[in-house]
Amino acid sequence: ALATGVPHNFWAVSWFRFLVGIGVGGSYPLCATLSASTKARQTNVRHGFLQTLAVFSSQGFGLVLANAVALLSVAHVTEEPINYHSSWRICSGIGAVLALFALTLFLQVPEGPRTSAGSAHNTLQVIVDNRWKLMGTGGSWFLFDIMFYANSLFTSKVLQLVFGKGGDLVTIFKHNLLLTIVPLLGFAVAGAYLWFTNRSIKALQIFGFAGMTITYFLMALALDHIETQKWLFLVLYMLTFVFANAGPNATTFILPTFVFDESVRSTCHGFSAAAGKVGAVLGSSAMDPMLNAYGLRAVFYACGSIGVLGLLVTVFFVKTEAEGTSYRYALISPSDPEADASKETGQGTDM
C-alpha cells in the first residue's frame, strides 16, 4: 500500500495495487474464520453472527474513511494552477498505516490448534466434496457482486442526474461521502435483525436480494418520472446499497463461516469470495458497455434480473436447520445424507 504512492509509472502502480489485492483477498477468509472461531460462537451462535458482521462492516466504514481522506487531501490544495499530484499519492499510500495497525493486532492473536484434516484434501477434491455448499455460498456471492460492482460503476451518472454536471473534486468527494455514509444503515439493520430476532441468516439474505430487486425494477419502470424527481432518484439509488448491506453484502461473508467444516472452512470461504470477485469483474466489464449502448434503464433491468437469480440460488440451495436456539447451516443437494437422516428421525427444517 505504501509503495503505490511512490512510483511515477502506471505499470508500477498497477503491480503494487495487485499485491495489495492479494493481501486483501487473503485476509477475507482468515478474518471471517477467525471471528467465527471465538468463544462467542461456541457459547451463543447469534453472538458469533454479530461478531462476524462487525468484522465485515469495517468495509463500510473503510469506504467512508477513504472518501473522507480524499476530501481532506484535495480540500487543502491551494496552489495555482491546481495540482493534485500529492493528493492521490496520500490516498494511495495511507492504507499502509491501517495495514500496519492490523498487522500488530494479528501478531497478538494466539495460535490456535492446527488441524491435519485440511492438509489431506487437494483443492479439486475440496471443491467436489463441497460443490453444493459452494453453489449456495459462491453462487449467491457471484450474483451479488455483479450487481454491487455494476451499481458502483454508474454512481457518477446518478450524481450527474441529481446534482448536475461539473463541479470540482471537493464537491465530487462530498457527494461520494454522502453515498457511503447512508448505506451504513444497512449494517445497523442486519445487526438489529440478528440481535432481536430468532430467524435465519437465509431469511436476511432473501430480504436483501428482494429489496434490491424490487428497487431496481421500480427505478427501471419509473425512470422517466424519477429522473425529474432528483432527490427521489438519489434516495432509491442509496436504498439499493442499504438493502445490499442489510442482506447479501453481509450474509455472503457470514454464511461460509458456518456452512463448511472447520478443516476446509477458510479454503471454501476463499473459493466463495473468489466467485464473488469473478462476478465483480463481470459486472464491471459488462455493465459499462450496456450503460453506454442502452442507457440506465437497461442496466436497472439487468441488475433486477440478476437479483431474481440471487433469490433463487438462496431459496433453493441454502437452507438452515434449527437446533434449539442455534442454527446449523447446510446446503441442499440431490442426495443429502443429513437431510435423509433428518427425515427418518422426523426432525423438521426451518427455512
pLDDT tens per residue across span 14-53: 888 888 888 877 777 777 777 766 655 555 667 777 888 8
Which residue stretches of 247-295 are H helix?
Answer: 248-254, 256-259, 265-294
Q: What is the dihedral of CA 166, 171, 174, 175, to 10 degrees?
A: -20
CA 347 to chain centre: 34
According to the model, what pLDDT value does residue 324 have?
32
- End-to-end CA gap in the chain: 43
SS3 of 320, please? Answer: strand
Tell me how far apart the alpha carbons of residues 71 and 172 are, in angstroms, rounded to a whole number. Answer: 9
CA distance 95 to 75: 19
At 246, give phi and psi (nearest 5°). Answer: -80, -15
Half-sphere exposure of 246 (CA within 13 A, CB side): 23
Torsion of CA 43, 44, 49, 55, to 10 degrees: -40
Instruction: Domain 3-108+123-345: give its CATH code.
Output: 1.20.1250.20
Q: How far apart are CA 263 and CA 118, in angstroms?
A: 5
Residue 34 is predicted with a pLDDT of 74
Do 154 and 297 form a contact (C-beta atoms < 8 A)? no
Low-confidence ranges of the chain (pLDDT < 70): 7, 36-45, 77-83, 111-121, 166-167, 319-351
Question: What pLDDT score does 119 carry?
Answer: 47
What's 20's DSSP letter? H
Distance in angstroms (rounded) separating the CA atoms of residues 321 and 223: 41
Closest C-alpha among 251, 260, 314 to residue 127: 260
Nearest to 141 by CA among 300, 28, 264: 28
| pLDDT, tens only, 240-249 | 999 999 999 9
- The label of the residue with cell 500500500 reads 1
The predicted structure's pLDDT at residue 152: 78
Q: Taking the domains of the chain in order of start, what are their residue ranges?
A: 3-108+123-345
Run of H or E including 115: none
Q: What pLDDT does residue 163 have?
A: 80
